[in-house]
Structure 1
Amino acid sequence: MPDQRLPASVRRLRLTLTFLLLAVALPAVAVPNVATDVTPVHSLVSQVMEGVGEPRLVIQRGASPHSYAMRPSEAAALENANVVFWVGEELTPWLGHALGNLAPDARQVALLHAEGTLRHAFRERVLTETAGHENHDHADEHGHDAEEHDTHGHDDHAEEVDDHHGHDHAGHAHGGIDPHAWLDPVNARRWLAVIAETLAEEDPANAPIYRRNAEAGQAEIDALLEHVQGEVSPVHEQAFIVFHDAYQYYERRFDMNTVGAISLSDATDPSPAHLAEIREIVGEYDVQCVFAEPQFNPALVDTVLDGTSARTGVLDPLGSDIATGPDFYPTLIRQLTDRLVSCLAGS
């Protein structure tokens, strides 16, 4: 117990010296250097690491992940990483090679293949064979059964699809796994736990913080699921067309009615025949909205809309206009919901 007879200034100096001596005596706890691939993954890792450290983002906001050219600072982030969280080679085939060269000793976690992740096979054709709500039978292209989940999907059953890749369309290996799995918040909920347990194993001293942060993030996602379900419920049967087929995880989770995609790949313009087919779908299925994406040619959307009463909006699966950080992921899902509902409701 401090000697109360000593002046307060002396007692404070004693306490300061004691803390300094303890700090010197105890070994420093090194927080892992963590790198991530895309902004949604960076956001989830940032949530788990909040108060401990910050992950490095390798693929900058607004850039296409399919064929990204890293800057020297981003390559250095991989080289210095103890842990790398990424979606997987299905989204960034080039990154697997970079990890082998730059981070061979780092712990590499491909979240798309983490236990409990719900996966869907790529759709070779979005709607033209299974228009309207017929495409919501929740079975992938390889004939596997639908995911089993309740209204909010708070189970961790993963839908397995054939991992053997078919022909490659501009960075996406169609015929394999669709990598846009972050657009199902139930996957993000699962990934928070995977991230927390990985970091807890690498950094046991901060394990309670990682786990507490993950639980808080999961509670936020529970609320987000309920919010989105309530928002889309009045318009979920309205037909719409997307620019490219990146949204099926969101569509299946919330039973939305996508009836076509303008582009069947990320880097090549659709053929005139395909555009004509999409225009027919607009009329046949009473399409309410045709959505562009900020990275792609808006003139193609104008071509589809010409002479129709359909409205137009903009969707972005990577949230290129959202600030990176812990709040990015819930903001992305809310933005996607707001833009879908606004256009479909005509507001």
Structure 2
Amino acid sequence: MLRSALCVIGAGLAGQVAAEAPIVATDIAPVHSLVARVMVGVGEPDLIIPPVASPHNHAMRPSEARALQSAHVVFWVGEELTPWMVKPLSALSGDAQLVTLLDVDGTVLHDFRDVAEDDHHDHDDDHAKHDDHSEHADHDDHSSHVDHDDHAEDKHDDHADYEEHAEKDHAGHDDHGHDHDGIDPHAWLDPENARVWVQVIAETLAAADPDNAQQYRDNAQAADVELVELQAELIADLNGMQARRFITFHDAYQYFEKRFGLETSGSVSLGDASAPGPARLAAVQNKVTEDQIVCAFAEPQYDTRLVKTAIERTGATIYELDPIGVAINPGADQYTRLLRALVDGYQACAQGS
């Protein structure tokens, strides 16, 4: 597996005299947002995977491949989320630095689960590289967010391409076509991980670009304050959801659920969004009936027919959750808007049931 050597941050770059910001690339929109927040006032990172595409099986366009190849620094979640990126990342130039966020010390990690078959939600083998990082310095000033143009035409094209092959991709998989062991890669949905990551992002960029090191560090500290405040806001907004059970399209939300005390009854698809077979659909239908589920969450990237099948004749209502942020413009504030949008989805469930 490709892994970053974080102990030698800036290797190959620290010796350069940076007249301007390094070229930075990121994999998914939430990671792009965290990096963009740290780079406010200095530059903007490139986004490789459009929000409308699934990171599990995206096919890079030539323009995206070129952006990746020209990068000095690449931040990605890791092979567990985007195994198809391993080959293009291996072709990076020798001076480029790869930072694998799942490998960052302090990242809270959870193993893949299957709640539909195993109703135990607390796994002994879930783990963190360190305890929660709750002690951070207080800061008074908050840097302003950067606005990004809406690449509507590109998004439309990517969405059309994805819709064209998504059903075909899913048809080629069944319940036994994937290895569902190992780390659940959706770690960005725990804001405590975001707090850890922005500090590493800042130090990585400071080493690569000493001229702007203080700006990166100041931005990271301001982002940390914002993330602490965001968590307090989300805890208040989710009050009352802890007693409700629901199902999701695919099991992408356990980091969010565990951080905020939510409890799911299962998912139609497992964590890699592979298509379920008849046996799995039957198991989910049984869970919906047994747990008297009233809310099912679909995702905008995927056809809702599987979710409809799972709740057929149960009286449950379909709402929407989105772990990436399809409808949110990429930019420095995308991450906070993404988590608030998740809360909106859960609140819609609470209010409608």
Which band: TM-score by shorter chain?
0.7 to 0.9
Residue 258 (str. 1) matches residue 247 (str. 2) = no
**Among candidates 70, 88, 97, match of residue 80 of structure 1:** 70
State the alpha-carbon separation in 1 of the partners of residues 80 and 343 from structure 2: 25
1:10 corresponds in structure 2 to: none
Which stretch has the larger CA shift, 187-196 or 88-97?
Answer: 88-97
**Among candidates 164, 179, 183, match of residue 177 of structure 1:** 183
Query: In the alignment, residue 56 of structure 1 is paired with which amino acid?
Result: D
Shift of residue 28, structure 1, vs aligned partner: 7.1
Aligned residues: 300
Shift of residue 307, structure 1, vs aligned partner: 1.8
**195 and 238 in structure 1: CA distance in 2 versus 1, 3 angstrom threshold:** same
Residue 338 (str. 1) matches residue 344 (str. 2) = yes
**223 and 265 in structure 1: CA distance in 2 versus 1, 3 angstrom threshold:** closer
**Among candidates 112, 119, 133, match of residue 122 of structure 1:** 112
**Among candidates 47, 72, 79, match of residue 57 of structure 1:** 47
Residue 315 (str. 1) matches residue 321 (str. 2) = yes
Shift of residue 344, structure 1, vs aligned partner: 2.6
Shift of residue 220, structure 1, vs aligned partner: 0.9
Shift of residue 265, structure 1, vs aligned partner: 5.8
State the alpha-carbon separation in 1 of the partners of residues 187 and 135 from structure 2: 15
What secondary structure does 1:239 align onto?
A: coil
Shift of residue 280, structure 1, vs aligned partner: 1.8
Unaligned runs of 5+ in 1: 1-26, 157-167
**Among candidates 24, 31, 38, match of residue 41 of structure 1:** 31
1:20 corresponds in structure 2 to: none
**Among candidates 234, 239, 243, match of residue 233 of structure 1:** 239
TM norm structure 1 = 0.80
Unaligned runs of 5+ in 2: 1-16, 137-173
1:199 corresponds in structure 2 to: 205
State the alpha-carbon separation in 2 of the partners of residues 283 and 129 from structure 1: 16
What secondary structure does 1:43 align onto?
A: helix
1:154 corresponds in structure 2 to: 134
- 1:67–1:94 contact (8 Å) kept in structure 2: yes
**210 and 144 in structure 1: CA distance in 2 versus 1, 3 angstrom threshold:** closer
State the alpha-carbon separation in 2 of the partners of residues 169 and 89 from structure 1: 21
State the alpha-carbon separation in 2 of the partners of residues 75 and 32 from structure 1: 17
What secondary structure does 1:291 align onto?
A: strand
1:22 corresponds in structure 2 to: none
Shift of residue 54, structure 1, vs aligned partner: 0.6
Query: In the alignment, residue 316 of structure 1 is paired with which amino acid?
Result: D
State the alpha-carbon separation in 2 of the partners of residues 122 and 100 from structure 1: 26
What secondary structure does 2:307 align onto?
A: helix
State the alpha-carbon separation in 1 of the partners of residues 80 and 135 from structure 2: 24
**Among candidates 85, 95, 108, match of residue 85 of structure 2:** 95
Query: In the alignment, residue 21 of structure 2 is paired with which amino acid?
Result: V
- 1:128–1:259 contact (8 Å) kept in structure 2: no
Shift of residue 173, structure 1, vs aligned partner: 4.8
TM norm structure 2 = 0.79
State the alpha-carbon separation in 1 of the partners of residues 240 and 177 from structure 2: 35
State the alpha-carbon separation in 1 of the partners of residues 28 and 243 from structure 2: 31
1:229-276 per-residue CA deviation (whole Å, 9 max, x = no partner) reads: 111121211000011111110011011010111123645432222222
**Among candidates 227, 237, 242, match of residue 248 of structure 2:** 242
1:26-73 per-residue CA deviation (whole Å, 9 max, x = no partner) reads: x87231110111101100000000100110111112111122222222
**179 and 171 in structure 1: CA distance in 2 versus 1, 3 angstrom threshold:** farther
Identity score, percent: 50
Q: Which has the higher contact order (CA 8 A, sep 6+)?
A: 2
**267 and 105 in structure 1: CA distance in 2 versus 1, 3 angstrom threshold:** same
What secondary structure does 1:313 align onto?
A: strand
Shift of residue 171, structure 1, vs aligned partner: 9.5
State the alpha-carbon separation in 1 of the partners of residues 128 and 98 from structure 2: 30
